[in-house]
Structure 1
Amino acid sequence: MSHPPRPTPSRETTRAVERGAGELSTLAAQRMEENLGWYRRLSAEERSQVGLVAQAGISQFISWLRHDEDHAPSAISIFANAPQELTRSVSLRQTLDLVRTVVDVVESRVESLAGRGDEQVLRESVLRFSREIAFAAAEVYAGAAEARGAWDARLEALVVDAVLRGEADDSMQSRATALGWGDVAHVTFVVGSTPVTDGGPAAAVDTLRRAVQHHGFEALAIVQRSRLIAIIGGTEEATSVVTRVADCFGSGHVVVGPTVPHLFAAGRSARAALSGLSAAAAWPGAPRVVEADALLPERALAGDQPARRLLIDRIHRPLGRSTQTPLLETATAYLESGGAL
């Protein structure tokens, strides 16, 4: 079923709108400066970019008026001159404020722009155009969000991979800063198995990240083969947080590495957690969520040299002090007798 053609104003009205394009753009900029607080807070460069979008919108409106066919206005031509980064500093809601401002400006000049009898047609054309552009703007922002999400996922994978390899260099710092992790403190590496989900690895990562953020903390997450890996930031009680989101992991143990001051030191937490995951099966009574430091004996027996050094520093040396000689002798006898006194 074909739709009736949209009513179009006379050529006289269209030419009048075209002649007034410069004035309309100036008025729109003034109106935004007066009424939109977020616009005043933008940098000079960003205001210039928003102004270009407003001018392009008016130009597209004029082009749309010239055509008799019922075609939708093009959002691409309106946003073409604006960099993608503008979608970070100007939200969709603010873009709709911009559209409303331009519409209000054009509507305020309808009486002086429209030829005799064209007033209502011009008003309806402005409203229809603004509706189409609002939908088009939503599509532009959705596309930008999708592209940004894919790029952020790539950065996230690179940061976690750098932590795994122990490559805490400037490039990792730059990528972490782009993800908002430049100043995140109290960082913990967590590893478990990947759950089986309908959405695959991407869904598992997204579910885990959202669950951690729901509790008020930051999370980077990736799937590496059969392992679901997370770096949790902003808390010194990581084990408590992981216990609350343990269902986001697959079956088996979820090992929590030691908390370190910042992302640059997260390699140490990663090595401990990965070693703990490999050794966890040697402790039949281990809880599902277990700290890597609770697995020091199992890790040491599996050949983990840092675990051996920690056992010596934390247990053997304190027991070797003269004041602890009876306790050391008791412990030695207990172990040599197979756990019986």
Structure 2
Amino acid sequence: MHCICNLYRYDKIKGLPEAFETPGVCSNYSPLYVEKTTKAIKEFKAGGDAVFTLPNSPIKCAGAPQKILYIAEETFRLQGKPANMVYYTALPVIFGVKKYADALWKVVKERGINVNLRHDLIEVKPDTREAIFLNLDTQEKVVQHYDLLHVTPYMNAAPVVRDCKELSNSEGYLEIDKFTLQHVRYPNVFGLGDCTNLPTSKTAAAVAGQFGVLRKNLGAVLDGKPMKGVYDGYTSCPLVTGKNSCILAEFDFSAPPKPLETFPVNQAKERSSMYLMKAHAMPFLYWQGMLRGFWEGPAIFRKAMRLGMSK
């Protein structure tokens, strides 16, 4: 069984390691530079350019780069600081599930946030405070000035998985069956989480859903019995849009992904109740539930709230 985190590859962006030593360049993914985010937002000058990125690689929680974007925009707005808010994403959509993407397009339009799809950060020039992006469709380079630059790095599986060709796929991820979580070639190997090739977002919520399946199937194999656990692709991404608002995206890994919501309300709507759950309930479930092996996702609550129906 493998549960190995991905590696952050800041080095794949030319000039970025050096840029981190200059004001205004930050990343919430790094314990070394996460505190610079608060400092950069606090010291941001009215009328400046605030730039946020999402790279051309699988990442942990694809909604996280947008969360800091929305929090920063709200902070500037409440402080009376006009800002040119710019979001560059390598993806062809603002979010992979249409229901939530429609809601997020409404958010960015209402707040005047400029969204650039299919653009990948390839270089940072700290001397001139410029970020260079590659248009993935035209291969043209785009130069963007920044006063604040929040970078989401490239990510890949840890070497113990990536360098083991017998276990990994062509992209370096543990190659497992998406329903049983058992390796496709080695029946004594199981996996879950960020290091796997599962076609779902890499989030703690996904790991919780996978944990119950792995527990059942690994135990069955050890006992010489048939596997009965089936992963439905569940994952969740609480999209925090402000200090008191959140869109709780929950979905599966169908193509295209479909909502798999727990609550009998429209979860694509910004709600303070969802923010409170994200801020207070989810940390407790993570530290006291999932990491101790007690939390296997909200499937049982979903059925209860929907009178036994799975969706």
Q: Which TM-score tier does this pair reach, normalised by the shorter chain?
A: under 0.3
Q: Please tell me whether Structure 1 or Structure 2 has the larger radius of gyration of its CA atoms.
A: 1
TM norm structure 2: 0.24
TM norm structure 1: 0.22
Instruction: Name the one with the larger strand percent.
Output: 2
